[in-house]
A and B are shown apart, each in its own frame.
Chain A
């Protein structure tokens, strides 16, 4: 699916990531950990082509992301759902339209029943007509997850999805991601919440990756 081949990324004269080789297999569940500023968000951005590596290459189903046209990158992003820590929405559109945005942008038909089913799944059906600024942090995170999966993508990338949530809400979000993984979706979550990782490992066979000294290491066995 997504493959990193000896990837490096430099920023501001210094190397942030170096010699990263990794293959995210279909249906796998990965956590990405590391200290703040280690490059977790950069790693995720390299996955969906918002950043390009300064060395090596990132491929999606054997296609080099750098060689893709802008339209191809847009097409590729429809197959990768992204949940950001800051949950960017279009604040002038109600929640239901924000969640449907990937469908409308792709010119695909929008089924109101399916949309409300999805909002029910993340527990936001009653807030469908609310504008994003009126939602709490947890509601925004769940809305971002709903938007990320509305196109039924193959891969879901989540960048500190529980960073602003209490433990109960974090577990609720994790449960949703585990459900998606059981449906065959590839999941990669960047987080430094070890309790969340432990909870996930009790439900699915998750691998834990750690960015340390610019390099990626397996770090699951000692958790």
Chain B
């Protein structure tokens, strides 16, 4: 059995006598619990941000992928003919699954957020929009643009790629930053717990000297510190995670109007993911305290 596995087994099994050799260290123990709790709380938010960014990127990608729009600008008396002509062109264009001209009511609804209700569309030079659904293989955008330019000069094709790509890239970057934040939180947790463990080890130098003198092995001495700090971090992280998840629950429900911010939370099975934060904090604490303890013990004869 490797020393690490043996240490993990001892951690889980516990040793009442080994636990008792280290006097209660209120300050460092409380610092460890608080740090782990605060970091777990932040990790829940970073995780939620990362997951929400991922969902956003997927939504933007899937919602706008294989969709395109044609905007027709023409005098009012020619608009219907131009629209019919463009629809005819689209019917014969390979890769176009369907094409539908938006009705006045649909266009009025689109413009309502900017111009308010009861917009008199017929008095404004509003272009007619045609919503295109592509087949899986898609159509030749450049070929269609050239054909429209030749046969329907007032029609302009917009396949959304120009603004969709940077949005998806931004969402992907946000997801990446969320993951980086989680890693940094994990690293900061490890660093803080290492500092607290070092402080506890320094404060208990006399205890360590006595234990070495009476023939205690390093593993026995380290075990008392490692178990204490790991359990403290685990408990603190559990509280921080629960509080973070409660805070997420209290956020407004996601809806179309709210968009990204109200979608910042966990959905469905993703609620399980933050439950991994406390055990991860325990692993970080275990590794950090064990490394600090053995580093300190190696300096003693």
Which residues from chain A sit less than 8 Å from chain B, CB to CB? 48-52, 70-71, 73-78, 82, 84, 88-93, 97, 101-102, 104-107, 147, 151
Contact = CB atoms under 8 A, between A and B. Distances in A.
Contacts of B297: 70
Q: Which among B209, B217, B297 has the greatest number of chain A C-beta atoms within 10 A?
A: B217
Nearest to B216: A105
A5 B217 CA distance: 27
A105 B301 contact: no
Contact of A74 (B206, B207, B210, B212): B212
B162 interface: no
A76 B301 CA distance: 13
B220 interface: yes
A151 B206 CA distance: 21
Interface in B1-58: 17-18, 20-21, 23-24
Contact of A70 (B18, B206, B218): B218
Given A71-B217, A74-B212, A101 B206 contact: no
B215 A90 contact: no
Given A49-B301, A93-B21, A88 B209 contact: yes
Given A50-B301, A93-B20, A88 B210 contact: yes
B211 interface: yes
A60 B189 CA distance: 45
A82 B213 contact: yes
Nearest to A101: B214
Interface of B: 17-18, 20-21, 23-24, 206-207, 209-218, 220, 297-298, 301
Contact of B211 (A51, A70, A105): A105
Contacts of A104: 17-18, 21
A78 B215 contact: yes
In the A-B complex, the 6 residue pairs with the smallest Cβ-Cβ separation, listed nearest first, are A105-B216, A78-B215, A77-B215, A92-B23, A104-B17, A102-B214
Contact of B301 (A52, A71, A93): A52
A88 B20 contact: no
A137 to B, nearest CB: 18
A74 B219 CA distance: 11
B227 to A, nearest CB: 15
A74 B301 contact: no
A136 B209 CA distance: 22
Contacts of B207: 90
B220 A90 contact: no
Nearest to A110: B17
24 contacts: A49-B301, A50-B213, A50-B301, A52-B301, A70-B218, A71-B217, A71-B218, A74-B212, A74-B217, A75-B215, A75-B217, A76-B215, A77-B214, A77-B215, A88-B210, A88-B213, A90-B23, A91-B23, A97-B20, A104-B17, A104-B21, A105-B215, A105-B216, A151-B215
A20 B29 CA distance: 48
A147 B214 contact: yes
A104 B18 CA distance: 8
Q: Which among A92, A104, A151 has the greatest number of chain B C-beta atoms within 10 A?
A: A104
A174 B209 CA distance: 26
A70 B221 CA distance: 13
A131 to B, nearest CB: 11
A69 to B, nearest CB: 10
Contacts of B209: 88
Given A48-B213, A74-B218, A78-B215, 8 more contacts: A49-B301, A75-B215, A78-B214, A82-B213, A89-B210, A104-B18, A105-B216, A107-B220
